Amino acid sequence: MEEKIVIGFEYGSDSARALVVNATNGEILGTAVKYYPRWNMGLYCDPKINQYRQHPMDYLEVLEDSVREALSKCPAGTAEKVIGIAFDTTGSTPVFTDETGTPLALLPEFFENPNAMFILWKDHTAVKEAAEINKLCKEWDVDYVAYEGGVYSSEWFWAKALHVLREDKEVRNAAYSIVEHCEWLPAILTGVTSSKDIVRSRCAGGHKAMWHPKWGGLPSEEFLTTLDPLLAGFRDRLFTDTETAEKPVGKLCPEWAARLGLSTEVVVAGGAYDCHMGAVGAGVTPHTLVSVIGTSTCDVMVAPHKEVGHKLIKGICGQVDGSVIPGMIGFEAGQSAFGDIYAWFKRVLEFPLKQIIGKTELIDFNTRAALIEEACNHIIPALSAEAEKIPPSESTVIATDWMNGRRTPNANQLLKGTITGITLGTSAPQIFRALVEATAFGTKAIVDHFINEGVRIDNVIGIGGIALKSPFVMQTLSDVLNMPIKVCKTDQACALGAAMFAATAAGVYDKVEDAIAAMNSGFANEYTPNAENTEIYTNIYEKYIKVGQFTEKKLFN
């Protein structure tokens, strides 16, 4: 039988990766990872005000480069066998467009304007707007956040859009519509030239834009203009319907077929968020929580309609029909920072290396640079090795994981991280262990919240670089949760999930579940809880809860 090849594409926070996959058995034939060049230089971002923007040119440049590089690693003739391609991206990552659907930052007059660029999920400049949305939802006769956990976040679509409209008159005057990153890429590849023709994502619309069939799609024009008259007209210029990601949105247009070295017969699937397609790549089934562990986490589950009924799960990031697997309800939760917390501590410890060793004249420039790079690369492994030697019974430093706010339970992006219990004898490994435990406690808070809301969880699947590379973190997580955790064999589960959607859209499989069964990677490791550690962590977790309650109370009272 002739091979059928698909390409799964994941756009993460820092880089994009292309996966060339045999659609019959899930064999990975070639991969490529490309970092966004402008983002890598820190352009258009201002961490002091939580502004994180990405230029659409970054997305286009890495798309072409990564597909060609991945295909170059495959056997000769592979490109001719590609029949489908699919994308997942971070989210909510919206951008304002003109009437053609072109992001404003691709127009010459807006090329260097951060407000005309994609607003990354971690951008928290819209805290004020999110609070206004929550207030109005409570007052309105329709609760538009009912299916989004009951709390709207500054990380989401409407809050970001309103913030930019208020802040930037030039963008406001030029903006015709808004598109999510995961919707724009399929539109670009299929040659869409009008914003009204962009196929809209069920995943993005349902989880982040308050879209639901119950009220006819997006929130009413009256609601949006009551929120702010600046939103007038956007509802009509956006969308009424959304589609699940296994449905084809079209085929490669001639321009992009030539740029990627593929055929115009390649089917392009609908887009979705990375964590949702990652859950599919991990083989998600009912009663399993898939934790996509990276800079932040996204925790995703699915449940049959009959199990959910009319029940609304409060405090999460939404429950959406078909956002993960078509025909099931998809649940999303997560932490606003996980690996980012470890990276922050690493940057703190890098200060003397870069600011003192980096300026010494005792050694030559090249030796200096090599020394600093080697030392920086070994900080996290060395901390992990030493922290692992500290028994949980000696975990006297308590930290919270809210250094980028709290996503779940009950989104609150104003919250700040906390570290307490430090003495003059506290060491760097002890602090690092506390940070690892804090991220595990944040996951436990999410698991406990789901269970308290009546959602059954039997086990956990971990995917992502941390899940594969840090036994210390994963064992701590298993001990804290008192649950077994399986780790996906592939470190590209999100891109593999996209490949499964591409295979389904191209007709290799009738449904996504069949693609999962045939193309999954299996598991590399399984962590089981240590009963003694679990008992100790039960007590420490109570302290974590109390520290969090104190922090939240003092901040808002």
User: What's the burial of 54, exposed, middle or buried (CB within 10 Å: 0-12/13-18/19+)?
Assistant: buried
* Helix, strand or coil, per DSSP, at residue 290: strand
Q: For every residue of 162-206, which 3-state class applies, written as one string?
A: HHHHHHCHHHHHHCCEEEEHHHHHHHHHCCCCCHHHCCCEHHHHH
Query: What pLDDT does 411 receive?
Result: 85
Peptide bond into 92 cis (omega under 30): yes
Measuring CA to CA, which residue among 11, 230, 27 is closest to residue 118?
11
What does the pLDDT read at residue 295?
87
Residue listed under structure tokens 């989401």: 156
Is pTM beyond 0.85 here?
A: yes
Q: CA angle at residue 315 from 137 to 308, to 5 degrees? A: 100
pLDDT in 10s for each residue of the chain, 557 residues: 579 999 999 999 999 999 999 999 999 999 999 999 999 999 999 999 999 999 999 999 999 999 999 999 999 999 999 999 999 999 999 999 999 999 999 999 999 999 999 999 999 999 999 999 999 999 999 999 999 999 999 999 999 999 999 999 999 999 999 999 999 999 999 999 999 999 999 999 999 999 999 999 999 999 999 999 999 999 999 999 999 999 999 999 999 999 999 999 999 999 999 999 999 999 999 999 999 998 889 999 999 999 999 999 999 999 999 999 999 999 999 999 999 999 999 999 999 999 999 999 999 999 999 999 999 999 999 999 999 999 999 999 999 999 999 999 988 888 999 999 999 999 999 999 999 999 999 999 999 999 999 999 999 999 988 999 999 999 999 999 999 999 999 989 999 999 999 999 999 999 999 999 999 999 999 999 999 999 999 999 999 999 999 999 877 65
Quickly count helices (H) and strands (E) in the chain.
20, 20
Half-sphere exposure in the Cβ direction for 199 (13 Å, CA): 23
Structure tokens at 508: 């290799």
Token couple for 155? 């990380």
**506 three-class SS:** coil
